[in-house]
């Protein structure tokens, strides 16, 4: 069978050296990922090989071109992500007008997958959004970016970040330190995301002023949040009663985002996420967005780990059904 040959033209708006990376490091990553012949001359990319492989390579370069056109400077990790998305048939993403926030380093934060884009658009449209999916899909990070952007635009007056405190094998009482020091590990991931978006000094000042509040879910009881952007993280570890308590804290001119991964629940029984989906499925202005392995934007190994655990769970379920 004759190999398929395709020639792709790099638009004049795209610098080929940015597209291929320093010393062609990005081109080498693509070449190492596919069994195809790839050559670059000027603004022409020629690909030769089996039809399916050539189609995938062409799709990879097309997506990388669109990243550069959107103002990104692709890194090897971006190439790995794009290759993984193409191989698994993930939807192509329109990056136009999707910037959420510029970090204090000047880096644009924007959705990188079609699922992430649906998630961000849902947060923009709805008062309450549930983002549900596996680790690495950007549930908390994008919600945090939307919150910081809303604060900068003065759409809200404060940000409230909360997590349930779940004792996974250790009792809080046995951990060293004050109550604040004992709680710090539970909310530390929220601090990490916040300080990736804003200068640490300014972030700490906003926390001291009460403009940004980070606290365990138990501290939310009895309060009402007006003019606030509130994020409940790790919501798979809430009970139905805790979820109801949290959602009824909603006040005027506020936005709530609830994130969670049903596969990482540390509590027995029906969870708050599961009950909320059943109870609120038909409630207007409440949206549920499901993210999956195609939306994982961490190291590509994370996606393979998620796949492996999903396959193991499916195999166990099959064994039980036959047992």
pLDDT given for residue 291 in this prediction: 93
User: If we measure between CA atoms, which residue out of 289, 171, 183, 164 comes closest to residue 237?
Assistant: 164
User: How far is Cα 9 from Cα 202, in angstroms, rounded to an integer?
Assistant: 45
* E strand intervals along the chain: 4-9, 37-41, 44-49, 101-102, 108-109, 128-132, 158-163, 212-216, 228-232, 255-260, 286-290
Can you give the pLDDT of all 323 residues of the chain as single tens digits? Answer: 678 888 889 988 889 899 999 989 999 989 988 988 999 988 899 999 888 888 889 988 988 888 888 777 888 888 887 888 788 776 665 555 566 776 666 677 888 888 898 999 999 999 999 999 988 898 999 999 999 999 989 999 999 999 887 643 334 454 455 545 545 666 677 778 888 888 888 888 988 898 999 888 888 889 999 999 999 999 999 999 999 999 999 999 999 999 999 888 877 788 899 999 999 999 999 999 999 888 887 666 766 777 787 788 778 777 777 76
User: How far is Cα 67 from Cα 13, in angstroms, rounded to an integer?
Assistant: 12
Helix (H) or strand (E) holding 168: none
| DSSP output for 205-239 | HHHHHTSEEEEEGGGGTT--B-SEEEEE-SGGG--
pLDDT given for residue 238 in this prediction: 92
User: How far is Cα 261 from Cα 15, in angstroms, rounded to an integer?
Assistant: 40
CA distances for 203 relative to 135, 142, 145, angstroms: 25, 17, 13
How is residue 60 written in tokens? 């990879």
Helix (H) or strand (E) holding 296: none
φ/ψ (deg, to 5) at 103: -70, 170
- Report the predicted TM-score, pTM, of the whole model to 2 decimal places: 0.71
Collect all residues with Cβ–Cβ distance below 8 Å to 248 and sequence separation of at least 6.
none
CB 293 within 8 A of CB 134: yes
pLDDT given for residue 151 in this prediction: 92
pLDDT given for residue 267 in this prediction: 76
| DSSP output for 11-60 | PTTS-HHHHH-GGGHHHHHHHHHSSSEEEEETTEEEEEE-HHHHHHHHHH
User: If we measure between CA atoms, which residue out of 56, 63, 17 comes closest to residue 38?
Assistant: 56
């Amino acid at each position: 069978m004759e190999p398929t040959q395709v020639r792709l033209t790099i638009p004049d708006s795209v610098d080929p050296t940015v597209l291929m990376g320093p010393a062609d490091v990005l081109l080498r990553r693509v070449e190492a990922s596919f069994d195809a012949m790839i050559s670059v001359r000027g603004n022409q990319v020629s690909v030769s090989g089996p039809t399916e492989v050539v189609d995938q390579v062409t799709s990879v370069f097309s997506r990388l071109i669109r990243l550069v056109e959107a103002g990104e400077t692709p890194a090897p990790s971006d190439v790995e992500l794009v290759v993984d998305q193409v191989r698994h048939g993930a939807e192509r993403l329109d990056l136009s007008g999707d910037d959420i926030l510029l970090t204090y380093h000047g880096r644009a934060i924007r959705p990188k997958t079609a699922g992430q884009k649906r998630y961000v658009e849902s947060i923009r449209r709805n008062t309450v959004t549930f983002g549900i999916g596996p680790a690495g899909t950007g549930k908390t990070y994008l919600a945090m970016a939307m919150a910081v952007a809303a604060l900068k635009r003065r759409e809200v007056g404060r940000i409230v970040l909360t997590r349930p405190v779940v004792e996974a094998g250790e009792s809080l009482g046995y951990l060293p330190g004050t109550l604040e020091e004992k709680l710090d590990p539970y909310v530390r991931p929220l601090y990490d995301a916040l300080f990736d978006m804003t200068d640490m000094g300014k972030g700490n000042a906003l926390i001291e002023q009460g403009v940004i509040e980070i606290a365990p879910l138990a501290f939310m009881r009895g309060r009402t949040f007006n003019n606030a952007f509130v994020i409940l993280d790790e919501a798979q570890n809430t009970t139905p009663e805790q979820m109801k308590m949290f959602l009824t804290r909603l006040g005027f001119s506020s936005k709530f985002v609830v994130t969670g991964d049903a596969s990482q629940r540390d509590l027995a029984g029906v969870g708050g996420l599961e009950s909320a989906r059943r109870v609120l499925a038909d409630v207007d202005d409440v949206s549920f967005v499901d993210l999956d392995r195609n939306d994982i934007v961490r190291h590509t190994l994370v996606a393979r780990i998620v796949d492996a655990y999903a396959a193991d769970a499916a195999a166990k379920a099959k064994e039980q059904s036959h047992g």
